[in-house]
């Protein structure tokens, strides 16, 4: 069975991805998850809610339709439609042979479809008076909107956010934020380059540079802690910034995707419970089968985490758990916060 990923062009043959603009189809393509299941596997249960929409690439499945049953084979015209349109599975689906599928997150697909179909949500018309078009030197906005952080924002929040950005010049050598100070703003680099300056204890880590479309300052606003690093401008430029109160209102809720107990039980992908409290707190009580990795160690231990695993962060850490979910997603992992009502300690 093939393991080659789809190309963006191949993805456009599946519905409703054919309605996406090329830029949004590319964004969706980067988020696809591939699965292989053996013959006899119950892929979908009728009436259950699913976080993702599934498509058959290879193999044959049986679809329960009313009192009867239909078969569907990968590569056929009907296989270019989702097995479970909508967030509640309309039919039970079982693998007749070994199968290969791909999955698309429901909310992400719906959001990208909305942006593609409504001219008001297109990057080129997001601003109107006082805003910029996303081309040439002003492609910072297009790059910003393609990130996971803003990809989860509801369109209404996105428009409100863009309308509330402040724009200010920044000079080479200027410290935009400084280590240890309270977090007051979220920043995006509109023009220019900057360098993240870490405290002395972390100087062995490679220096990171930021360019047009990159953002910073959100970690202090998510956690409520002081700045964990300084950001120094390397050249003259321009910044867009958003005050803490507006960030918390418009952006912070979308930073932390959540999953509840029933959804976790139905999660077919490989996953791991992660407890991000200190070791002493973990020993006093934790969820069975959870791994302890304090949030302060997430960046330094990220290379030891498996990329094909979905990480479910337990809620006992409070705001530290929320920060861990955000950091994991920023590092390219798939992570969710487990709802408190779906957790119990051992």
pLDDT one-digit tens code per residue, 290-340: 999 998 788 788 888 998 899 999 999 887 888 888 888 878 788 999 987
Range with top average pLDDT, 99-103, 108-112, 139-143: 99-103
Are both 150 and 248 inside the same structural domain?
Answer: yes
Do 73 and 103 reside in the same domain of the chain?
yes
- Verify that 98 and 83 share a domain, yes or no: yes
Give residue 229's pLDDT band: very low, low, confident or very high (50, 70, 90): confident
- Whether residue 121 lies inside any domain: the answer is no
On whether both 90 and 184 belong to a single domain, the answer is: no
Domain limit, last residue, from 253, 280, 312? 253
C-beta neighbour count of 136 within 10 angstroms: 7
- Whether residue 3 lies inside any domain: the answer is no
pTM above 0.85, yes or no: no
Q: What is the DSSP string of 235-276?
A: S-EEEEEEEHHHHHHHTHHHHS-EE-HHHHHH--S-EEEEE-
Q: Is residue 1 part of a domain?
A: no
Domain span including residue 304: 256-342
Is there a domain that residue 143 lies in? yes
Query: How far is residue 275 from each of residues 118, 313, 321, 325, measured CA to CA in Å?
Result: 41, 6, 8, 11
Integer Rg of the chain from CA: 22
User: What CATH number is attached to the domain comprising 41?
Assistant: 2.60.120.10
In a domain, 149, yes or no: yes
Q: Are residues 73 and 140 in the same domain?
A: no
The CATH number assigned to the domain holding 280 equals 3.40.250.10
Looking at the structure of the chain, the number of domains it has is 3
Nearest to 242, CA basis, from 167, 174, 177: 167
Same domain assignment for residues 243 and 142: yes
More confident residue, 1 or 178: 178
Indicate the pLDDT class of residue 19, thresholds 50, 70 and 90: confident
Residue 87 counted as domain residue: yes
Q: For 86, which DSSP code? A: S
């Amino acid at each position: 069975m093939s393991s080659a990923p789809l190309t963006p062009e191949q993805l456009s043959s599946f519905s409703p991805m054919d309605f996406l603009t090329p830029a949004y189809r590319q964004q969706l393509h980067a988020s696809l998850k591939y699965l292989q299941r053996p013959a006899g596997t119950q892929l979908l249960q009728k009436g259950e809610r699913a976080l993702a929409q599934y498509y058959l690439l290879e193999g044959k499945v049986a679809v329960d339709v009313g009192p009867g049953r239909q078969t569907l084979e990968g590569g056929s015209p009907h296989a270019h439609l989702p097995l479970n349109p909508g967030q509640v599975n309309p039919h039970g689906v079982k693998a007749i042979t070994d199968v290969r599928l791909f999955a698309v997150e429901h909310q992400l697909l719906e959001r990208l479809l909305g942006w593609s179909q409504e001219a008001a949500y297109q990057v080129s018309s997001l601003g109107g008076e006082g805003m910029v078009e996303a081309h040439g030197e002003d492609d910072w906005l297009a790059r910003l909107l393609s990130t996971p952080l803003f990809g989860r924002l509801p369109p209404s929040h996105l428009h409100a956010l863009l309308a509330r950005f402040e724009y200010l010049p920044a000079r080479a050598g200027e410290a935009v934020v400084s280590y240890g100070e309270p977090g007051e703003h979220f920043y995006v680099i509109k023009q220019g380059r900057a360098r993240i300056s870490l405290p002395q204890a972390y100087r062995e880590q490679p220096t990171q540079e930021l360019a047009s479309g990159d953002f910073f300052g959100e970690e202090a606003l998510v956690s409520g802690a002081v700045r964990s690093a300084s950001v120094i401008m390397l050249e003259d430029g321009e910044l867009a910034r958003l005050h803490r109160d507006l960030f918390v209102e418009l952006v912070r809720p979308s930073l932390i995707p959540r999953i509840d107990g029933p959804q976790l039980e139905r999660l077919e992908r490989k996953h791991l419970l992660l407890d991000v409290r200190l070791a002493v707190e973990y020993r006093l009580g934790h969820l069975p089968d959870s791994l302890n990795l304090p949030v302060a160690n997430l960046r330094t231990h990220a290379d030891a985490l498996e990329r094909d695993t979905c990480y479910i962060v337990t809620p006992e850490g409070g705001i530290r758990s929320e920060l861990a979910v955000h950091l994991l997603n920023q590092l390219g992992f798939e992570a969710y916060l487990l709802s408190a009502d779906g957790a119990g300690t051992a």
